[in-house]
Amino acid sequence: MTPDQIESYGYAEFAKLEKAYGATLDDKLRAAGRMVEDLEKKQPGFKHLLRAKSIGDNAMIASLLIQQSQRYWARRR
């Protein structure tokens, strides 16, 4: 994809997440981001994988990360 197509794709996928999670999306993305940071410390390269070819921009992948982060943080409380 061209850079413009990648950007448009990212906006379209984010709109899907907004529709699915509504007002709670920002908090859920922050929690998922913190989980990714934690995992990156334990397994370097994870963030690079998510950035590669915009994998992390995909709404389904982001949703899976959000769901997993809820489990991840619940186990650490």
Would you say residue 6 has pLDDT above 90?
no
Q: What is the pLDDT of residue 2?
A: 87
| Residue at 14: amino acid letter | F
Task: Flag whether the pTM goes above 0.85.
Answer: yes
Over residues 20-65, the pLDDT tens digits come to 999 999 999 999 999 999 999 999 999 999 988 778 889 999 999 9
Q: What is the pLDDT of residue 14?
A: 96
Mean pLDDT of 64-72: 97
- How far is C-alpha 67 from the chain's CA centre? 10
Cβ atoms 32, 62 nearer than 8 A: yes
Q: What is the pLDDT of residue 53?
A: 75
Mean pLDDT of 5-29: 95
